[in-house]
Amino acid sequence: MSDPFIALVDDAGGSGPLEGLRLAVKDLFDLAGTPTGAGNPRWLETHGPAEKDAEAVALLRAAGARVVGKTVTDELAWSLNGSNAHYGVPDNPAAPGRVPGGSSSGSASAVAQGLADIGLGTDTGGSIRVPASYCGLFGLRPTHGRVSLEGVVPLAPTFDTAGVLTRDARTLRLAMEVLLGAPEEAHAPITRLLAPRDIWDEQSEATRAAVMPAVESLGLEVDTSPFFDDPHFGVRHDTGAAAGAVTPLESARRAYAALQAWEAWQAHGAWIEASRPEFGPGVKARFAAASKLGSADVTGAQRVRSGVVALVRDRLPEGTALAIPAAPGPAPLIGQEPDREAIVRLTCIAGLAGAPGLALPAGTVEDLPVGLQLVATPGGDEALLALADPH
């Protein structure tokens, strides 16, 4: 286990709606005068100090937040576990001896330990929502493109987003309103939840028992109709596994994995080949597999992505949110291999559709936190935040 911070910052802070709140910054975001390490020592060696703050950091600072440090991230943000081969595993006080979740691991850990009030992170495939679930926190993955990623190390640009983790809904709403700015158009309040049985039936009995009461406690209409009602959705999609029919949700997961890997190699392949970084086992294997993909390998995945975009548009009109677990269960033990595929089946819908995803503390499984995930139509960020913090 390790400290969530890789560098402490002495920032006086300023005035504004976030005045007095401490900000922990994931080490993908530039801080002026400080090198950005992206969770890998070789990246740190090959990149100089940042000339200016990342836009998201600048906005939060201008609103009064006080930066207290940069935090550990999984290498180049390509993990959901929260275990860095070079910098260790930040503590998870909500689940001692277990991982905090990645790749926004240090930001989640700092907030969960009370060392910061706002944890700035990124979410490509669940890297805010999963740590929130494991650590008993609130977190928002915003609509893709609504929060600037200027000055942020990318992973998969058509999926990457920047959001925050907090201990309470009010702080989450305050911080995200600063990052989101004024909406282009108002969205209707959420009055209906879709808790589709085809997704819930895949979850363990313990997770269903812990999370479903949180859905019901919101006091809204709950519809359990399937999310994927087309039996042919994605059946012909194959990203390298044995050909054959798969469930629509698994098809979506495979599509996400293929597209993310393709984009990650386009973003970092040249640097990897030139700089020869040493990666931890999981990240090393993912980049090695990504290096072998060609454009033809992602054609089918792009078709599936278009299908998910259409489903989100149809199933989640304004006023409706998808309600599913934020993770398939509590945080794994340190050193235990997580079920990455089961996790991504729950997080990939928001990613593929560019939709906002809110994680809320929901309940416990064997006294360990598990979270609820609410996904709205793209642009529905404020409606999700109002549902979490109605005052």
Q: Return the active site residues.
A: 26, 103, 127
User: Going by DSSP bridges, is the β-strand pair 357-365/162-166 parallel, antiparallel, or unpaired?
Assistant: unpaired
Q: How far apart are CA 310 and CA 377, in angstroms?
A: 11
How many Å apart are CA 354 and CA 235, to the nearest integer? 23
* 118-122: strand order across its sheet: 5-8, 66-71, 22-26, 118-122, 162-166, 138-141, 357-365, 368-375, 320-325, 192-194, 221-223
Q: Where are the beta strands (DSSP E) in the chain?
A: 5-8, 22-26, 66-71, 118-122, 138-141, 162-166, 192-194, 221-223, 320-325, 357-365, 368-375
Task: Count the helix, strand and coil residues of the chain and give each as a percent rounded to the nearest 5.
Answer: 35, 20, 45
Quick check: helix, strand or coil at residue 296?
Answer: helix
Beta bridge partners of 66: 22
